[in-house]
């Protein structure tokens, strides 16, 4: 088993570290936030991810995983260092590699033995080449490592960089890593390839071994294809409404074709989260930098941007104004099973409603605290926002309801409840949770995506 250091304890880094510990490796996770480190040592996960906290506690108690802010002690004698820090989107759509560079320099100035550095963060094609060069630039005396005992400079250290993109879906990340369909590794030497193969051997999962640049492109190509699929079905759904077809019937008929498949064909109000929005923009930016136009990806971005506020526009045509109306919002996160609000449709609609003077009553089983950081409770612009602990309090006396996330708690609400609790049973469902017939039979004026 290997000594593994993991830089970053977000969705990628923490899940990676915990799962490596689960299969027997000795892992130390590094983060600059001392509060997060202390939380994890107490058995509290800083992120909401089903199954993660339990595995974290189990492996911490067994001594297979630890947490620290001291990167020097973590990287110094690690066999492998995984980089799982954020690569946020810049205003121009490109990826911000600042955190990658910081870790790369720390690694170069710290390691004392041969080491494989593995980038799990999603980075533009060619980044790992630069990371390897950057590390070599900062190794003491162009690749010679100081022994630290006063004996001067010792033998050269072998440092290589590999690409190992993650394919984790928030809400199922632990399962996705432990039971992945494939593991993609990108290396430039047999030494790096064999080391990564041995690290992943306990997982017993097929390994796709390619060059570094191909591995980087696999990640972007896969995520962009799924984003394209979502935007395509949403585009078709919008046309279905105009011509009198039902998108669920259409998607069902398409899904039987194994060349298409049924996954990611559920119409709604668009994709969000930390991956698809960022990765589509980053790939489109990369293409432009090389003088090429990725027209399909550009179209997916445009469709998704419009789709996020399609319910608001529908409701605006139905109502004179939102001013003074009680608006129930059910679901704040970009998907169920996570507390992540990044690029969530709720964040596109809340400011529009507040500008119109709406009195928002918002419910989400885990995302409220994160939403409060963006929209504190109370008056905001012409409107107000209040967060409630249950669905009933959100719906009571509401004039209109928007459903933005398909949490099980929301799906469990019976159609009759909307009629019973709301002042005006007017519901805009962005996730097609309910049967159109059942909602209308219950006396609810109901609008969804791609169905009439």
Domain boundary among 210, 231, 252: 210
Residues 137, 233 within the same domain: no
Give how many domains the chain has, as a whole number: 3
Same domain, 140 and 266: no
Q: Tell me whether residue 84 is in a domain.
A: yes
Same domain, residue pair 142 and 239: no
Domain's final residue, options 170, 191, 210: 210
Judgement on whether residues 232 and 174 belong to the same structural domain of the protein? no
249 and 371 in a single domain? The answer is no
**Does 249 lie in the same domain as 175?**
no
- pLDDT (tens place) for every residue of the chain, 452 residues total: 899 999 999 989 999 999 999 999 999 999 999 999 999 999 999 988 899 999 999 999 999 999 999 999 999 999 999 999 999 888 988 889 999 999 999 999 999 999 999 999 999 999 999 999 999 999 886 444 433 333 334 568 899 999 999 998 888 999 999 999 999 999 999 999 999 999 999 999 999 999 999 999 999 999 999 999 999 999 999 999 999 999 999 999 999 999 999 999 999 999 998 889 999 999 999 999 999 999 999 999 999 999 999 999 999 999 999 999 999 999 999 999 999 999 999 999 999 999 999 999 999 999 999 999 999 999 988 999 999 999 999 999 999 999 999 999 999 999 999 999 999 999 999 999 999 999 999 999 999 999 98
On whether both 297 and 322 belong to a single domain, the answer is no
Q: What is the CATH number of the domain that holds 70?
A: 3.40.50.720
- What does the pLDDT read at residue 141? 60
Residue 110 maps to a domain = yes
Q: Are 286 and 315 part of one and the same domain? A: no
Q: Are residues 374 and 420 in the same domain?
A: yes
pLDDT of residue 72: 96
Q: What is the pLDDT of residue 171?
A: 85
Q: 215 in a domain, yes or no?
A: no
Give the separation between CA 321 and CA 312, rounded to whole angstroms.
11
The question of whether 275 is a catalytic residue gets the answer yes
Residue after which a domain boundary falls, among 190, 210, 230: 210
Predicted pLDDT of residue 148: 35
Check which CATH number belongs to the domain holding 268 and give it.
Answer: 1.10.1040.10
Cα distance between residue 224 and residue 219, in whole Å: 9
Q: Quick check: is 452 in a domain?
A: no
* pLDDT the model gives residue 155: 60
Segments forming the whole domain that contains residue 241? 220-306
Q: Which two tokens stand for residue 362?
A: 């918002």
Q: 206 and 224: one domain?
A: no
Residue 125 to residue 96: CA distance in whole angstroms: 13
Terminal Cα distance for the chain, rounded: 58
Q: Are residues 68 and 154 in the same domain?
A: yes
pTM check: above 0.85: yes
Note whether 363 and 393 are within 8 A (CB): yes
Catalytic residue among 19, 115, 240, 275: 275
Does one domain contain both 154 and 108? yes
The backbone torsions φ and ψ at residue 286, rounded to the nearest 5 degrees and listed phi first, read: -60, -45
Full strand arrangement of the beta sheet holding 26-30: 65-68, 26-30, 3-7, 80-83, 115-119, 159-163, 183-186, 207-210
């Amino acid at each position: 088993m290997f000594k593994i250091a993991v830089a970053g304890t977000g969705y990628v880094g923490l899940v990676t570290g915990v799962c490596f510990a689960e299969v027997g490796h000795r892992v130390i996770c590094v983060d600059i936030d001392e509060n997060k480190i202390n939380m994890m040592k107490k058995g509290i996960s800083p992120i909401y991810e089903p199954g993660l906290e339990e595995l974290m506690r189990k492996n911490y108690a067994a001594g297979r995983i630890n947490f620290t802010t001291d990167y020097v002690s973590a990287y110094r004698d690690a066999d492998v260092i995984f980089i799982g820090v954020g690569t946020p989107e810049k205003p121009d759509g490109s990826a911000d590699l600042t955190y990658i560079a910081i870790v790369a320099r720390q690694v170069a100035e710290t390691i004392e033995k041969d080491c494989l550095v593995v980038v799990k963060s999603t980075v533009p094609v060619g980044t790992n080449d630069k990371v390897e060069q950057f590390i070599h630039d900062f190794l003491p005396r162009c690749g010679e490592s100081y022994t630290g005992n006063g004996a001067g400079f010792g033998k050269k250290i072998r440092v290589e960089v590999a690409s190992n993109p993650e394919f984790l879906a928030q809400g199922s990340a632990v399962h996705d890593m432990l039971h992945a369909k494939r593991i993609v590794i990108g290396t430039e030497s047999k030494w790096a390839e064999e080391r990564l193969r041995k690290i992943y051997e306990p997982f017993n999962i097929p390994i796709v071994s390619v060059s570094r640049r191909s591995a980087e492109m696999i990640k972007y190509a896969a995520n962009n294809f799924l984003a394209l699929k979502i935007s395509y079905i949403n585009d078709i759904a919008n046309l279905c409404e105009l011509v009198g077809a039902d998108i669920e019937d259409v998607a069902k008929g398409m899904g039987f074709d194994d060349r298409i498949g049924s996954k990611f064909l559920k119409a709604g109000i668009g994709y969000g989260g930390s991956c698809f929005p960022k990765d589509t923009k980053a790939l489109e930016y990369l293409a432009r930098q090389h003088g090429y136009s990725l027209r399909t990806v550009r179209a997916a971005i445009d469709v998704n941007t419009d789709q996020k506020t399609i319910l608001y526009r529908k409701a605006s045509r139905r109502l004179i104004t939102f001013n003074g109306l009680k608006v129930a919002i059910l679901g704040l996160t970009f998907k169920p099973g996570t507390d992540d609000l990044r690029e969530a449709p709720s964040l596109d609609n809340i400011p529009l409603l507040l500008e119109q003077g709406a009195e928002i009553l918002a419910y989400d089983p885990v995302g409220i605290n994160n939403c409060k950081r963006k929209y504190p409770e109370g008056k905001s612009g012409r409107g107000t926002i209040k967060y409630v602990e249950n669905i009933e309090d959100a719906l009571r006396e509401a004039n209109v309801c928007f459903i933005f996330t398909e949490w099980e708690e929301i799906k469990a609400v019976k159609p009759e409840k909307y009629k019973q609790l709301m002042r005006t049973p007017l519901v805009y469902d962005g996730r097609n949770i309910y049967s159109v017939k059942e909602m209308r039979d219950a006396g609810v004026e109901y609008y969804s995506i791609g169905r009439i």
